[in-house]
Amino acid sequence: MHTGRIPVYHHIDEGAGEIDIPGENMPGPGPNTIQLVGIAYGILFVIVGAFLWRSGRFSRTVKYALLLVTILLGFLIFSPMLPYMFGELVASADSRVGATLLGAAFGMVLFFVLTFLFGRHFCGYLCPIGAVQEVAYLVPVPKVRPPWKVLPVIVRAAVFLLILGAGLVYSISILHYLGIRQFFTLTVSAGFLVFSVLLIISLFLYRPFCRFICPLGAIFQVFATPARWKIRRTDACIECGKCENACPTSEAGREDTKGECYLCRRCMDACPVEGALVYGGKTRQEGTER
């Protein structure tokens, strides 16, 4: 009997030149064995990255090495693609109940916990979608910075509800149509062009996918806001405002929550005072942080 639901999960037209992802036909929305390698990499380097930040050893070399490896994993094994998996998970939630669904959901909860502990290291350096946008933004062209902080929040919430509704009600994963898979599998198609346009936009606007579209980004922001470890100002700050001018997401202010901080380091690189910005937890002594 026709239920009115659209079975997009199993029949996605990737266009001519489709490339097989190893284990892609495994049932369920959870990751296949090879994709688990990417997810393990994500978990490991969120933790390693956090401790390198904490000890002040997260250098530019580490930053670019992580971005490079992450992008390569995106192209080679299409992982760790958590936003894409989230779309699949929601779109197939009704037909994939059971251990696989629980496993995938558990994996995501683990990343939410890591974000609550350490901030958005996953978004900053371990998500291939975020990493390609981060690298695109390094290209020296004029940058556009939206003046309103509330706009991305509203757009993100609306898109999140759209993705959730389309997935739960019609079993449609909207992220399929943004060409993420086609881009990272180098499958020339309409979707490939859509993601390429997003990438061109990210030359000028910082991480448009992360900030306006990504459903996980919307959730990560909620967990990153009360994060235990994040970038904080100390009493050494001279209020010169250079960090705020450098921050592409307007999160470098003293009172900003860092929910949208991608740990890009631009604020720290711009700061003229050693020790005015540190990464870590709040101390109990009022006004001092370490």
* Residues lying near ligand SF4 in the complex (CB under 6 A): 82-83, 123, 127, 129-130, 209-210, 214, 216-217, 220, 231, 246-247, 249, 251-252, 261-267
Q: Report the residue number, 62 or 95, with the smaller CB distance to ligand SF4.
A: 62
Task: Catalogue the E-assigned strands of the chain.
Answer: 230-233, 277-280
Q: Report the residue number, 39 or 247, with the smaller CB distance to ligand SF4.
A: 247
Q: Report the residue number, 27 or 275, with the smaller CB distance to ligand SF4.
A: 275
Q: Which residue in this structure is represented by tokens 């990751």?
A: 31
Say how far residue 241 (Cα) sits from the centre of its chain: 27
Q: How far is the CB of 283 from ligand SF4 (least distance, A)?
A: 20
Pick the closest to residue 218 from 96, 87, 62, 91 (CA basis): 87
Amino acid at the residue 147 = P
Q: Report the residue number, 96 or 265, with the smaller CB distance to ligand SF4.
A: 265
Q: Report the residue number, 93 or 270, with the smaller CB distance to ligand SF4.
A: 270
Q: How far is the CB of 5 from ligand SF4 (least distance, A)?
A: 26
- Whether residue 71 contacts residue 132, with contact meaning beta carbons closer than 8 Å, is answered with yes
- Whether residue 77 contacts residue 31, with contact meaning beta carbons closer than 8 Å, is answered with no
Helix (H, G, I), strand (E, B) or coil at 168: helix
CA angle 235, 240, 245 (to 5 degrees): 120
Amino acid at the residue 36 = L
Q: How far is the CB of 16 from ligand SF4 (least distance, A)?
A: 27
DSSP letter (8 states) at residue 228 = S
DSSP letter (8 states) at residue 126 = I
Q: How far is the CB of 98 from ligand SF4 (least distance, A)?
A: 25
Q: How far is the CB of 105 from ligand SF4 (least distance, A)?
A: 16
Q: Report the residue number, 92 or 221, with the smaller CB distance to ligand SF4.
A: 221
Q: Is 140 exposed, middle or buried (CB count within 10 Å of its CB: 0-12, 13-18, 19+)? A: exposed
Contacts of 15 (CB under 8 A, 6+ apart): 182, 187, 188, 189, 190, 191, 192
Which residue has the CB atom at the shortest distance from ligand SF4? 130
Q: How far is the CB of 178 from ligand SF4 (least distance, A)?
A: 10
Q: Report the residue number, 96 or 230, with the smaller CB distance to ligand SF4.
A: 230
Task: Report residue 252 as tokens.
Answer: 């470098």
CA atoms within 13 A on the CB side of 103: 13
- Whether residue 106 contacts residue 43, with contact meaning beta carbons closer than 8 Å, is answered with no
Q: Report the residue number, 67 or 231, with the smaller CB distance to ligand SF4.
A: 231
Q: How far is the CB of 284 from ligand SF4 (least distance, A)?
A: 24
Q: How far is the CB of 206 from ligand SF4 (least distance, A)?
A: 8
